[in-house]
Chain A
Amino acid sequence: MNARSLQTTIIFLVVGGILALAFGGFLGPVSRQFSSALIAFQTWVSSQYLGLQDFATAPRDIVSLRARNSELEAQVSQLQTQVIELQQRVSQTEILAALVDFSRANPESAYKAAAVIGRDPSPFLHYIIINRGSNDNIRRGMPVVTNQGLVGRVDAVIADAARVQLITDPASAVNVYLQNAEADAVLLGSVTGDISLDMISQDASVEAGDLILTSGLGGGYPSDLIVGQVVTVRSLEFELFQQATVQPAVDFARLEIVLVITNFRPVDITPLVP
């Protein structure tokens, strides 16, 4: 063995021994100092490199990110439009399903579905305009309902549209029947859209929650259509009749699709009125 190889062997043994001592935990304080200095240096080098890399690549990334962002924003707005359209379809489908259920539950009447496309331009009147007219065999006087109850009746018809007078209209008067009290009454509209009952006999025992149905008297409407429920009753001994406020079964502010009862012909009793 020459001197050079001996020197190499000694170096390996010394380094190996130091490493063995270090791995064995005998050089803890020294190795910690060394490693922390090394890590600090590496951190500095790394951060400098990343900074340089950012500086070199950032402009290109911003441009591409902006382009990508605008693409995604366009996609989001498109998807939001689709979501709104689908929600509208779901809403319409639910309404139509309810109307189909209603027409199946009342097979004695023939129905024609119509969409509400407008309201009367004058705030004094409560009319709606529907997209069915004489071309669809809609005639003046036909009752209009939803699955919830009575809406009104057709007031005027043109070829492809009709105007419907709501039961909330101040000129509307519907003959109704109080189911629990077994009494007849007249349902009246008002300028505010509230409806009320009048001409209830003083003998009738009317209570809040009583169901109100059309009576069919007068021939203007078919019988047994749900109109609403009694909310409060006003009964004064010195008056001839009782009055009551009514919660309508139909939400008139949210009318979208209605059913016209096409097999009902109103009876004009005007010549019989003295």
Chain B
Amino acid sequence: MRNLIAFPLLFLAVILQSSVVSQVQLLAGYADLPLLILAAWALHKRVDTAWHWAALACVLVAFVSGMPWFAPTAGYLAVVFFARVLQRRVWQAPLLAMFSVVFAGVFFIHLLSFVSLQISGVPLSFLDVMGLITLPSLLLNMLFSIPVYAFMRDLARWVYPAEEYE
């Protein structure tokens, strides 16, 4: 039953992303709260519902955003995949793993967004996108990743208590 926390949490994350986080801009970039939550959730060893969360986040973000649906979908699934792979290898430095997943995830999602908008006929300059959107977004995501990781770690311990898991 505790897995159902995904619904209110991801709904809240998308609402906060749309109404608050998108207003905290650095140049033209801003943080991606659903991405941070997914990355932090998927990095925990006990968590076995990361793919479910990713699917739910994909549906919600694709519904709210004007971006072609496959860009956030592929992006968030890739973030979870990368987090699960990294979780098995960098288990002794979870925050380092979080930074790595966020770094790779932001670049991958922005690359997907850039390509999908180019295909849609939107004129974008790669240098403008890198300098004004991707790098500032990366910085903000890195900053937010620390508190989000701490919050999601506590949540994971609540959803998957040690005695039940072992």
Q: Spell out A's residues near B (CB within 8 Å).
A: 117-125, 127, 129, 155-156, 163, 165, 170-171, 188, 190-193
Contacts and interface: CB of A to CB of B under 8 A. Distances in A.
Contact of A170 (B19, B122, B137): B122
B92 interface: no
A155 B120 CA distance: 15
A127 B66 contact: yes
Interface of B is mostly: helix
B28 A193 contact: yes
A118 B18 contact: yes
Interface residues on B, range: 35 or more
Given A156-B66, A165-B66, A171-B120, A122 B28 contact: no
B104 interface: no
A263 B65 CA distance: 26
B133 interface: yes
Given A119-B23, A121-B32, A171 B67 contact: no
A233 B110 CA distance: 32
Contacts of B14: 121
A18 B28 CA distance: 94
B23 A121 contact: no
With a 10 A CB-CB cut-off, give which of A118, A120, A124, A192 has the most chain B CB atoms.
A124
A192 B114 CA distance: 14
Contacts of A119: 18-19, 22-23
B124 interface: yes
A125 B66 contact: yes
Given A122-B67, A124-B67, A190-B128, 18 more contacts: A117-B19, A118-B19, A120-B64, A120-B65, A121-B14, A122-B65, A123-B25, A123-B28, A123-B29, A123-B133, A124-B110, A163-B66, A165-B66, A170-B117, A171-B120, A171-B121, A171-B122, A191-B133
